[in-house]
Amino acid sequence: MKVVFMGTPDFAVPTLRQLIKYHDVVAVYTQPDRPAGRGNKILFSPIKALAIEAGIEVLQPETFQKKDVRDYLTSLGADIFVVAAYGLILRKAVLSIPRLGCVNVHGSLLPKYRGASPIHAAIQNGDTTTGITIMYMDTGIDTGDMILKREIAIDSDERIQSLHDKMAVLGGECLIDALAQIESGASVRTPQDDSLSTYAPMIKKADGLIDWKWSTIEIINLTRAFDPWPGPYTIYNGHVLKIWRVEETEVEDINTKELLPGTVVLANPVQGLVVQTGSGLAKIVEIQAPNGKRMTATEFLRGREIKTGEMLG
């Protein structure tokens, strides 16, 4: 089939690779180049880099509201549009262009976790499974009819990057299977049950703040979901400490019921750093000071002092 692909970040790369292998990708749409990093250098999106490597035309409109932009998109004569983490909302005027419609590669088992951050949400909520849904797009946010779904397990200590990478590969594989069904006329449209839907909004930097009143497992899941970005953190003496890894622990002869969440229970280079949570105790395994590097809590405490009884957060 003739395909127009729309995507931007790393998650979309395996899908585009699969499309290039099996279909005729007539153009790639991706977000406009923007400055990034400390030097504000202009960097190509991962999708733009791949498209250039493959010799595919790249287009980067800020919007599809202009008629000439839509007219050019129409002139490409694609049978179908494929979208994977593009970053622009497509309106009806765009969705109605291809004869076979627009399909989206979504990183959850819809209708659970519609929205911008479904993979993060699955880890933060402690789910043991998630998956990919290939769906027809409509004017809602991830509300269209489903074509196929495929499940993947979430390991108990899995962090966002490893799950993201697995799901990116799975997304490409699922997309090719779905396109084969569509091309043969065998695809079945399954409406979503809106009553079962949940929403995963775009993540903000402030979402990484640890609330020590949460249970220890909720704090662990936050660190798994937000490493490396936006980075789980707490406040100590007015400074931000990144808390990269946490595990459940117990300490003899300490009555945790009398301690406020966030209280430092232990802090020394031998036993490490242990903090009271809403459900018990959390041992901080990996930490980072402002302008410092990631290190174990025991390494951190060899050069810095945190006192027992002090508060985090």
pTM: 0.94
The pLDDT value given to residue 255 = 72
Q: Can you read off the two tokens belonging to residue 15?
A: 């899908």
The pLDDT value given to residue 252 = 83
pLDDT digits (tens, 9 = 90+) for 29-57: 999 998 876 777 888 999 999 999 999 99
CATH 3.40.640.10 fits 205-303, yes or no: no
SS3 content of the chain, % helix, strand, coil (to 5): 30, 30, 40
pLDDT digits (tens, 9 = 90+) for 167-188: 999 999 999 999 999 999 999 9
Topology of domain 2-200, per CATH?
Rossmann fold (3.40.50)
Nearest residue to 135 (alpha-carbon basis) of 101, 172, 105: 105
Question: Look-up: residue for tokens 């127009």?
Answer: 4
- DSSP track, 212-265: TTS-HHHHHHHHHHTTTTT--EEEETTEEEEEEEEEEE--TT--GGGS-TTBEE
Provide the residue ranges of all domains of the chain, joining segments of one domain with +: 2-200, 205-303
**pLDDT, the chain, mean:** 96
Q: Is 37 left (phi over 0), alpha (psi -120 to 50) or beta?
A: left
Q: What percent of the chain has pLDDT over 90?
A: 93
